Structure 1
Amino acid sequence: MTPSPAAARARTGALADVALLMPAYNGQADVERTLASFAEDAPIYALVVDDGSTPPIVAPSVPGMEIEVLRMPKNGGIERALQAGIEALAARDFRYAARIDAGDLAVPQRLAKQRARMEAEPELAALGTWTQVVNRAGEPLFMLRPPADARALRRTRMLRSPLVHPSVMLRVDAVLAVGNYRVQYPAAEDLDLFLRLMERYDCANLPELGLYYELNEGGISATKRRRQIVSTLRLQARYLNVLNWRDWAGLAKNTLHLVTPYKLLHRLKTRLGA
């Protein structure tokens, strides 16, 4: 049964206005492992958007967590799944949506820390964390440490991803105010959203580890990677600040990525630690 807005308002605890938002396509075991990784001092609500999985995703039993599965009628891609998820959370009166992807692991108290910062700074529409990238065996590969300061993020937004998407806590009303997730930029729906948010609000990062991001090398297809880079280049061209050399550097960097084999790029990132 779908909770009513009244039921959502009746929830209590320090995280009563926070919801996990996880899109999932197959991967039942990854969904279970990711949800079980959360350790908070208050009950957690999680919305898993099942993007047409076969068999359908089943809500696992996790102590201290209420889990709802929202089933999409068919597999439509992460952009549509996240769009539907935000709309569902708004209908349930949640103020914050904390992103996570199946297979990733959360650092204890991640949600409490992010919520506290966003409550203290109402101008924030998105707050990410630093992220440890690991392989399927859980072995560390490299760290992602995007700038913490909102002004620094605006300056470097084209040079590197401003926020690690699965680490981000979003203000639901701000996401809706800028048009929600969209399908216009396939595989770069996160950057599209962040750039639109930065036009009206601040975005920032907690300068501490909040997420273990699993890099599934076997699941990365050249087609998806190329689509993501092309979408990113389109966004960079649209939002280009001709007076910011970092924007030009970002364009050059992603153009190089377009012609660089993925395995070579991955080895370089691992060797450089970023």
Structure 2
Amino acid sequence: MVQSRNQSVLVSVVVPVYNAERYIAAALSSILQEHTVPLEVIVVNDGSTDASLTRARALGDPRLRIIENQGKGIADALNTGLAVARGQYMVRCDADDLYPANRIAQQVNWLSQNPEFGAICGGYAAIAPKGSPLVQFDDSPIAEEITLELCAGYARTHLCTYAIRTDVLRSLGGFRSYFKTAEDIDLQLRLGEACRVWYEPGIHYYYRLHRASITHTKSSTEREFFDAIAREFQSQRQTTGMDDLQRGIVPPPPPISPSCRPLSAAQHIQKFLLWRAWYEHQAGQRWQAISTGVRSALTFPSNLATWRSVLALALKPVEATSFDIKPTFRR
């Protein structure tokens, strides 16, 4: 089905962009392959100085809308998109990632048939800079409601796997600009308090690991602080009905030491692969686990702790494995 210009929009896809010229055409093309659902793709330019917008316009698709945000940050960029969104449902795609085919149609169909739910999400996969697969994060083979686990502070997947009713997002006030990172964790936790959320197994998003992504430009101290404060705010809301931000109290982030460097792309890939190796080990797939562990070690060979972990994969019996390595579900 080809969407006409005057056809009402059902889905708004918000794509925040900052200097993503290398990947943006692939990201937008992966979204625009959807022709069975009337949609708009809102490209929010957050102060790009490269050819990102030129690459976007070159696609020549009338469903694209380009909005300026003037470098105000990721939360404000997402809110800029939300403010102009015309769709009944909203989804997000970062400008360096990819959507699988039929993802939008499947999620919209599910939400239309289950009006008691405000959002649906699913698993995702990490891919290397050139798009080769690294590891899948499909947390459960079971389709299930995850509202209670969100209310318990556990965000099992990436926010970009979500399709959310636009009126629910607006009732929450959108994203909170206090969060320089972890704005997605804060939103997921608040979403669980506002509506019922469903998890559908399968890969709903391809998350690209590369050196220019936010994970690799923000210090680990800053990322860990905002991640923790999102959960602290949730605890405050559950205890007193409001959190500090809602009271007008703004906790200052910790000072960033010049020696505290961001996680590199290679280190991030290594962490994901090591998590997968222990997951396979726990599942009884010893040789696959060792193979994945070696891949992890070779990604960043100077990390001796990873080599020790690979040795443990080879020596530990399955029943003795302690599976306590958790992946990071954010950029």
Q: Could you tell me the TM-score, scaled by structure 1's length?
A: 0.77
| Mapped partners of 1:201, 1:65: distance in 2 | 33
Larger Rg: 2
Bigger shift: residues 224-233 or 164-173: 224-233
Shift of 1:169: 1.4
> CA 1:104–1:178 in structure 2 vs 1: closer, same or farther (change >3 Å)?
same
Give the residue type in structure 1 aligned to 2:176: R
Shift of 1:105: 1.2
Contact 1:44 1:65 in 2 (8 A): no
> CA 1:154–1:65 in structure 2 vs 1: closer, same or farther (change >3 Å)?
farther
Bigger shift: residues 124-133 or 261-270: 261-270
Q: Which has the higher contact order (CA 8 A, sep 6+)?
A: 1
| Mapped partners of 1:271, 1:117: distance in 2 | 34
> CA 1:134–1:199 in structure 2 vs 1: closer, same or farther (change >3 Å)?
same
- Structure 2 residue runs without a partner (length 5+): 237-259, 277-326
Shift of 1:173: 0.6
Give the residue type in structure 1 aligned to 2:93: I
- Aligned twin of 1:136: 129
- Aligned twin of 1:60: 57
2:17 counterpart of 1:24: yes
Contact 1:31 1:102 in 2 (8 A): yes
Contact 1:22 1:48 in 2 (8 A): yes
Bigger share in strand: 1
Q: Structure 1, residues 11-36: CA drift from partner, whole Å, max 9, x if none?
A: 15xxx311211000121342211111
* Matched pairs, number: 243
Give the residue type in structure 2 aligned to 1:53: S
Bigger shift: residues 152-161 or 191-200: 152-161
- Aligned twin of 1:114: 107
2:72 counterpart of 1:80: no
- Aligned twin of 1:232: 227
| Mapped partners of 1:218, 1:54: distance in 2 | 14
> CA 1:224–1:82 in structure 2 vs 1: closer, same or farther (change >3 Å)?
farther
Give the residue type in structure 2 aligned to 1:70: I
Shift of 1:60: 2.7
Give the residue type in structure 1 aligned to 2:221: R
| Mapped partners of 2:26, 2:107: distance in 1 | 22
Q: Percent identity?
A: 22
> CA 1:52–1:192 in structure 2 vs 1: closer, same or farther (change >3 Å)?
same
- Equivalent position to 1:124, from 100, 117, 140: 117
- Equivalent position to 2:184, from 190, 193, 204: 190
> CA 1:208–1:65 in structure 2 vs 1: closer, same or farther (change >3 Å)?
farther
- Aligned twin of 1:46: 41
Shift of 1:267: 2.4
Contact 1:163 1:205 in 2 (8 A): no
> CA 1:70–1:265 in structure 2 vs 1: closer, same or farther (change >3 Å)?
closer
- Aligned twin of 1:249: none
Give the residue type in structure 2 aligned to 1:26: N
- Structure 1 residue runs without a partner (length 5+): 1-6, 242-258
Contact 1:95 1:171 in 2 (8 A): yes
Contact 2:151 2:193 in 1 (8 A): no
> CA 1:268–1:124 in structure 2 vs 1: closer, same or farther (change >3 Å)?
same
Shift of 1:262: 3.9
- Aligned twin of 1:98: 91
Shift of 1:44: 3.6
- Equivalent position to 2:144, from 139, 146, 149: 149
Contact 2:125 2:203 in 1 (8 A): yes
Q: Structure 1, residues 86-142: CA drift from partner, whole Å, max 9, x if none?
A: 0111xxx32111110111111111110010111111232222221110110222222
Contact 1:127 1:204 in 2 (8 A): yes
- Aligned twin of 2:273: 270
Contact 1:50 1:71 in 2 (8 A): yes
- Aligned twin of 1:3: none
Shift of 1:160: 4.6
> CA 1:164–1:223 in structure 2 vs 1: closer, same or farther (change >3 Å)?
closer
Residues 193-232 of structure 1 aligned to structure 2 (within 5 Å):
193-217=187-211, 219=213, 220-221=215-216, 223-232=218-227
Shift of 1:149: 2.2
- Aligned twin of 1:70: 67
Q: Structure 1, residues 42-83: CA drift from partner, whole Å, max 9, x if none?
A: 3542100001111472343447661010012x2111110001
